[in-house]
Amino acid sequence: MNTTAKMTDDLRERIITRPDVILEDKDLMKALIEANERAMGGNIVDLRGIAMERLEARLDRLEDTHRSVIAAAYENLAGTNQVHRAILRMLDPVDFEAFLKDLGGEVAEILRVDCIRLVLESVQADDEPAVSKLSDVLCVAEPGFIATYLGGHPDRPSRNVTLRQMSEGDDAIYGEAAGWVRSEACLTLDFGTGRLPGMLVMGAEDPHQFTPQQGSDLLAFFGGVFERAMRRWLS
C-alpha cells in the first residue's frame, strides 16, 4: 500500500509539474472526458464535452488542410524543377533542326506530355488544308488560324495560356495522333513587331492533365522563354 501511494504521489507530482503532457495527448484527454461523462450519469448534458468534440473536429479539418497545403507546395516545387530542366534542354541545340527534334523528344518527355506541336502563321501557308504539316513537330498555318483555333476572333488577341479538355485533337495540328488527344495546353507566342504570331501546343492522352481550373504560371513562363529562343532562330 505504501509503495502504491508513493507511486501515485509521484505520478501526481509529475502531472502537476507538466500538465501539457496530458493536454497534448489526444487519446488520454478523450478517455478522461468519457470517464467524466460516465460519472455524471446519462441524464446530464455536458456542454463542455460537446464543445470539445466540435473543437476536435475543427482541429482534424485544420490538420487535413495543413497536409493539403504541404502536398500542394511539394507538387508546385516539383513542377518548377520540371519546367527548369525542360528549358535547359531546350536551350542546348545549336541548329534549328536539332531544336525541333529535342522539342518533340526529350523536352516533351521532361514535361511528361505525349506530344508537342509548334504552329507558325505564314502568308505562304496553303489554303487547303488550313494547316500544312512540315514535320512531326512544326506546322505552318495561314494568318488568323491561331486565334480562330483558340475560339477568338483573328483580330482579337487570345490569352497567353489556354488549358482545355476535348473529345479528340484537331487533325490539322496533331495529324494521326489527333484521335487519342484528350487535353491540351496552348501557349501563344509573340515573335516581335512585324512578325505573325505562333503557338506551342502540348497534347496529352490523359483528359485531366490540362484543365481550365489549373494554374498556368509555370507554362506561361515556359512560353515566354520559348518565344525568346524562337526569335533567335527567326532572325
* Tally of CB atoms within 10 A around 51: 10
pLDDT of 235: 73
Helix (H) or strand (E) holding 165: strand 161-165
Per-residue pLDDT for 181 more than 90?
A: yes
- Tell if the pTM clears 0.75, that is, is over it: no
List, as one string, the DSSP characters of 78-125.
Answer: HHHHHHHHHHHHHT--SSHHHHHHHIIIIIHHHHT-SEEEEEEE-TTS
Give the domain ranges of the chain.
95-234
Give residue-wise pLDDT tens across range 20-39: 777 777 777 777 777 766 66
Using 50, 70 and 90 to split pLDDT, how confident is the model at 128?
very low
Q: In which residue are the cell numbers 493536454 written? A: 23
Three-class DSSP category at 132:
strand
CATH number of 95-234: 3.30.450.40
Give residue-wise pLDDT tens across range 64-87: 787 877 876 777 778 888 899 999
pLDDT of 158: 54
Quote the mean pLDDT of the chain. Answer: 80
Arithmetic mean of pLDDT, 51-56: 74
